[in-house]
Every structure is written in C-alpha cells, then in structure tokens.
Structure 1
Amino acid sequence: MPTARPDDEPDDLLMAAYANGDDTAFERLYTRHEAGLYRFVRRLLGPALAAQADEVFQDTWMRVVNARKGWMPQGASFRTWLFTLAHHRVIDVWRRSGREVTPVDDGDAPWEPDAEAGSAWARWPAPHTEDIAFWRKAGERLLHCLEQLPLAQRSAFLLHHDDELPLADVARALEVGFETAKTRLRYAMAKLRTCMGAHLAPLQTSEP
C-alpha cells in the first residue's frame, strides 16, 4: 500500500515522487491543478477556438508525463511550469488559426482610456452590493473584454489575477523579463477598465 501523504504536500515533491514511479503523486497533481489549468486554456483560446480547449488541456498534461524523468525545479514552481507548457500550446493553436500572437505594444506610449470610461466606472455599485443581475452582467462583460485583449496581455492578466501567480512567476511563465510582464499587465488592466467602464451600463445609479 502507498504511504499516505498530507494533502498540502508541495507540488515539487509530488512531481519528484511521480518521476520516481509514484502514479498516485501525478493523480494528486492533476486533481489539484485541473480546474485552474482548464480555465486558463479556455479563456486564452476564447470562443472562436473553444473547440480545441480539450486538446490543448490534454496535450499539456501529456507533456508533463513525457517530461517527468528529466524534470527538475529551475527557479519556477511546478504550477508556473505547467502554465508555461499550456501557454506554448495555446500559441501553437493561435498560429495555426492565423491569429496574431506577436506583442505589438510592449514599448508603446501609455494606453489612453476613453474619456467616458472613468465616469461610467465610478458609477458602479460598491463591491459588496448584492445585486446578482448586475454582477452576472459584469462577469459576462468582463469575459467579452478579455477576448478583445491581445494574447500576450490576456495571458499576463489571467495568470496574475485569475490564477494568482506573483508577477515574477508570470514573467517566468511567459518567458519574458519582469518589466515586460509588468507592462503587459498594465496595458491589460487599462484596456479592461476602459472596456468595462465605457460599455457596461450600470444597473444601479447613485441617489440624486
């Protein structure tokens, strides 16, 4: 019988155990990261390429399986490495579909939001507002706005805000410098604020 291990055992130890032939360690890694990885892949691909989400997801895990013998931590966590593999596969799919994947604005001038964005954003309810219809619509709009971002900026935003990777790990996952990752995230946030503020009409207005 395999020796029981705590559920909070670090990913790196589980991966090392898997490399040494412990298949239950892989099962635990898969269970731990399954939902987050699939969500990341699905949102990067967007609706137009959604049909390939399962393929990318499964291929990412196959790459983990194939790399287990030679895998060694190199400054990045297992999760960061896992998302790097997925990001590579998403780029492959985007390129095959003819979509642009090359960042075009890493060094451009700061993004200038629409003039109406600030006022519309400011009229939104406070985060604690229990208006389910409003927040459902806001969530739908956010997904739409995410789909308008270039892949490089969308990746940075999802890794940092959705998957909660520190910015240094975002840079590692995207294989770019720290300042480049920071710039992409800044552009993504500015564009999302503009898109959300300018186009999602608040369902609640402040009292006169």
Structure 2
Amino acid sequence: MSALPRAPSAAARSASERDAMPDDQLMLAYAHGDAAAFDVLYARHEGGLFRFVRRLLGARLAAQADEVFQDTWVRIISARDSFSPQGATWRTWAFTIAHNLAMDRLRVSGREVALDAHATDDDGDAVPALDRGVRGAADASAHPSAEELAFWRAAGRRLLACLDELPAEQRAAFLLHHEDGLTVDALADRLEIGFETVRSRLRYGLQKLRACMERYLSVLEQRA
C-alpha cells in the first residue's frame, strides 16, 4: 500500500490555496509555521472584529478600541499552539476573546451594570431586521434611491447611538447574537453564563433598542 500524500508545506502552499482554506485550517497552518496563513486570517476578519470591539466599547471608550483590537490579536497569536478546531469555530473563539477583553475595559471604567437574569418570552426580530436593512442599503447591487439611502444612513447612525446607550452586557449579547450569529445556547456556553441569563440580556436589550428606534421602525411598518 502506498503512503498517504503529505499535506503541502508552508512554502509550497499557494496564495489561492490559502484564500480557499476555512478559518480553522488557516489557524492550524499558522501554528505549524505558515505565517502567510495568519495574514489571510487577519485580512478576512480585521474589519468585522474591529467593528465588534468598537460597538461593544461604545462612544465613551472609543479611543481604546484600537488597543483592545490589537490585544485581541496578540491573544490569538499567543494561543496558536493550543487552538483546537473542535467545538466553537475560529470566528466564535476569536470574538469571545475580543468580548472578554472589551468587558474587562468596561468593568475598569465602571460602566458594567448588573442585569436581571429572568426572561421567558421569545424575542422578535424588528431591530435585527432594521440592522440588516441598514447594511443592505449600502450594497451597490440594491440600487437604493437617494431618499431610501438617506433614510438608511440616518437609521444606521441612530442604531449605533442606541447600541451605545445599552448596558455593556446587553450590548455584547446583542452583537454576538445578531452580528456574529451565535445562538442563545452558544452564547451561554462561550460566555459561561446561564441560558436564561443570555435570554434576559437579549430580551431587555431588544426592548430598549425597539423603544430607541421607534420612529424608524414605525416607518418600516408603514411601508410593509
């Protein structure tokens, strides 16, 4: 029986091969000495991870976003030898690191608040739908009118302001759930908190966002 083919070395791996690799495999390749694999990983998630950190810290700590963002990548680099693709995806793992570092900054600043851990009702989708609309209107393929573009830009600015007004833990739960796509179960597991606590943060965060975005949501309801 012939030997199984060996995986290509870092030197033999082409740029197109790296571009096609999933995040977990890129991290493993980097851990085995392929520095270019890290460059692909960084380029792929730089924007999303920075936006997450910036939104989580809010306007008052915006000046610290760069530092928390860089600290996140330092932690990722430091953990390269211990990273395992089993369990959470690389993106979830990385965003959890960013979440923990940002929350540490918020605690030091005194902005963290205690939250009620009881919720039973399912959450609606009004504010996440608005968030998708804000991003979708910026897509050139959507060809929005000047009026629609102005509406979505104003709604986007308002949504960021409303997010900044949320307690830090509610804002983090909202961003991880609706922007990074974590389920309630995954959130509870990654943040090491109870399922009902996560539901509570999402529920009350959405209630506050809906109240804050009421004017824009009413316009969408009229258009429906």
Shift of the 68–109 alpha-carbon distance from structure 1 to 2, 3 Å rule, reads closer
Q: Structure 1: which amino acid aligns with 2:181?
A: E
Distance 1:132 1:78 in 2: 34
User: Does the 8 Å contact 1:171/1:181 carry over to 2?
Assistant: yes
Distance 1:186 1:203 in 2: 23
Q: TM-score, normalised by structure 2?
A: 0.74
Distance 2:157 2:176 in 1: 19
For this pair of structures, how many residues does the alignment match? 190
SS in structure 2 opposite 1:106?
A: coil
Consecutive unaligned residues in structure 2, runs of 5 or more:
1-10, 122-129, 131-136
Question: In the alignment, does 2:91 pair up with 1:79?
Answer: yes
Offset of residue 132 of structure 1:
2.3
2:12: which partner in 1?
2
Match for residue 117 of structure 2 among 106, 116, 120: 106
User: Does the 8 Å contact 2:96/2:191 carry over to 1?
Assistant: yes
Q: Equivalent pairs: percent with the same residue?
A: 54
SS in structure 2 opposite 1:87?
A: helix
Shift of the 132–32 alpha-carbon distance from structure 1 to 2, 3 Å rule, reads same
Distance 1:16 1:6 in 2: 12
2:3: which partner in 1?
none
**C-alpha deviations, 1:38-68, integer Å up to 9, x for none?**
0000000111100100000000000011111
Distance 1:201 1:19 in 2: 47
SS in structure 2 opposite 1:176?
A: coil
Larger helix fraction of residues: 2
Equivalent residue runs for 1:189-200 within 5 Å = 189-197=206-214
What is the RMSD of the two structures over their aligned residues, measured on CA atoms?
2.9
**C-alpha deviations, 1:122-171, integer Å up to 9, x for none?**
xxxxx998422222221111111111111111111111222333444333
1:124: which partner in 2?
none
Q: Structure 2: which amino acid aligns with 1:152?
A: E
Distance 2:120 2:195 in 1: 18
1:116: which partner in 2?
none
Question: In the alignment, does 2:189 pair up with 1:175?
Answer: no
Q: Structure 1: which amino acid aligns with 2:193?
A: V
User: Does the 8 Å contact 2:117/2:196 carry over to 1?
Assistant: no
Q: Structure 1: which amino acid aligns with 2:155?
A: A
Question: In the alignment, does 2:54 pair up with 1:42?
Answer: yes
Distance 1:138 1:32 in 2: 27
Q: Name whichever of 87-96 and 160-169 sits farther off.
A: 160-169
